[in-house]
Structure formats: C-alpha cells, structure tokens
Amino acid sequence: MNSAGIYNVGIQIRRSARTLMEQLIGQGLAPAGVAANSGDMIVDGDQKTFMPDVIEASRQMPIIVDFWATWCGPCKTLTPTLEKVVRAAGGRVKLVKIDIDKNRALVQQLTQLGLPLQSVPTVAAFWQGQVADLFQGAQPESEVKRFVENLLKVAGGAMPSADLLSEAKAALEEGQAEEAAQIFSALLQQEQENPDAWAGLIRALLALGDEDQANQALAAVPAKIIEHPEISGARSAVTLAIEGRKAAGQLSSLEARLAADPGDHEARYELATALNAMDRREAAADALLDIMRRHKGWNDDAARLQLLKFFEAWGFDDEATMAARRKLSSLLFS
C-alpha cells in the first residue's frame, strides 16, 4: 500500500477508534480497563485480548499487530523479521500476533472499520488507541526497521542508535549496500552529527556505484564533524572511486605499458588506483609498494602518499590495511 493509502486508512481508523472499543466491549470480546502485560514484548493475541493488548496498551507504548495465517507463506518470512526488529528496539515497542482464521469476528469488525485485512500478512501500528501506520506483504528487514523507527518517532522514542549503526555496518559488510544506506539514513534522522553514520552512508552510496550521490552526501556533512577521521576516510574513498573509475577503463593499456616497460611508474601508479576501484586491495597496495622498492621517493613520494590514502579509505583496522602497513614498515626500515 502506498503512503496515500496508509494515510487514508489511518484517518478512517482514527475516526472509528472509539466505535471499535465500544463494539468490542459491548459484545464481550474484551474486558474494559485491563492493562497490557508490559513484561512480554512479543505475545499471541486474540479477539478477547485485543482491547487490553492493543488498544489500551497503545496508550502507554507503541503496539505493532501482525495479522497472519498458518497457510500464508510470506507470513512465515515476515513474522521472524518483525520479532527480530522488535527485540532490537529494546522494550520500546510491543508485537501482538493475531491468527486471522481463529479470530474472524475481530477481523470482520476491523475490516468494516477500514483496516484492509483481505490479505495477509498485514501489519498495523497502533499508538494512543489509533492506527498510526500499516503495510501489507512480506518486507525486507530494512523496511521493517524503517516502519518501526517511524512509529517510535511518532511515539516520541527511537531505536538505540548503537543498534542501528551496528546493523547498518553489518549490512554494508555483507554487500547489502542499499539496505545499509537506508539504515544509515534513518540513523541520521536521529543524530545529524553522527560521523559514523555519514561515513557509512557515503560508503554505501559508493558501493551502489552512485558517486554523484556520495559527493552530495559528503557536501552535506555538518561543518562540526567535517574533519572527523571517519569523514576523512569517506572523503578519500570518494576521491579514489572517481580516480579509479577513470583508470579502470584503461586497465589493459596500463598492463601493456608495464609489460613493455617495468620502469613505467606512472602506469603502475594508475594501475594501483584502478585495482583499488575494483576492490583488489592487496594487488593495489603491492603495486604502490613496488614503485617504492624500484624508485624510493618517486614523484615527490606519490606512491607512499597514495598508499596512505588507501589506508584512510579502507579503514585503519581493515585487514588489507594492516597487511600493507606491515609491508610498508618492512620496506621503510629495512
């Protein structure tokens, strides 16, 4: 469902929230005034507990309701993801799971009030007794996190930034650049001066091959943190990506030049930049180290300075950085 559809459904449900409570209480499907159990953040609900577990409980904390069915394939994928994200929220949100086949009376009433339960999975977020947001169908973890994060913002809370940062970095390391970019962006909505989040977003955009967006993100970094080591590393990564893209298109000619003249240090320097852009870090570092072995101080120490820029872009705790740094130390002090 698009944002406009969610908004319209939300209006309809909000207008009918009082009617919903009155109907459920009036028909004996839920007792009035029963408080939710705050000790368990993931529970199975039904039509008798919907009022205390969802409507009333949502006056104290955000509640997410997962409408599912045993025959629903996507539900089997989505529900574990919802549970994972809710646990990561650290007690700031509660998940109530409702089997639609076992709670047809409740489903019928919610449908009449405008909640689209014709298909599952449907996930609805409640806050202050009203529907705040919803989505349908299985969603990737990044979208579920965004959904929960938006709900927490409405409720005046937020997922711990450390959790978001950890998840984003893990996604980037696993090659899930798009998901990482989304999480870094969500974190920046909370903390606009978080250098790790800015650097992560820039690196994720580079991983997606979007150098223009990476440059725009770099230009948007707050002045207060512009010289932070993480930002400097991201800046070097952007510069090297642009240089490397140009050099990568000449890879064959560079290799041919070196085959004809092993002393062509300019060709080896450009080859190192191209190899780095292809994420062949060890080979890129070795090419620059080879220049230093053959001609110490070549071109005002350009090879060593470029290698240091590689280290900055890769991160000083990166395995390729540490390995190349050992080789550099051995070369300089031998």
Residue 14 has pLDDT above 60, yes or no: no
CB burial of residue 263 (10 Å; 0-12, 13-18, 19+): exposed
User: Can you give the C-alpha Rg of the chain in angstroms?
Assistant: 27
Q: What is the pLDDT of residues 120-168, one digit of tens each?
A: 999 999 988 888 888 999 999 989 998 998 888 777 765 667 777 888 8
Q: What are the chain's domains?
A: 3-154 (3.40.30.10), 161-226 (1.25.40), 246-332 (1.25.40.10)
What span, in angstroms and rounded, lies between the C-alpha atoms of 128 and 200? 35
DSSP letter string over 114-153? T---SSS-EEEEEETTEEEEEEES---HHHHHHHHHHHHH
Residue 30 has pLDDT above 50, yes or no: no
Tell me which residues are annotated as active site: 72, 75
What span, in angstroms and rounded, lies between the C-alpha atoms of 132 and 139? 18
What span, in angstroms and rounded, lies between the C-alpha atoms of 45 and 23? 18
- Give residue 158's pLDDT: 57
Lowest mean pLDDT among 82-91, 102-111, 183-192: 183-192
Structure tokens at 30: 């839920």
- pTM for the model stands at 0.52
Strands 42-45 and 94-99: parallel
Beta strands in the chain (DSSP E): 42-45, 63-68, 94-99, 122-127, 130-136
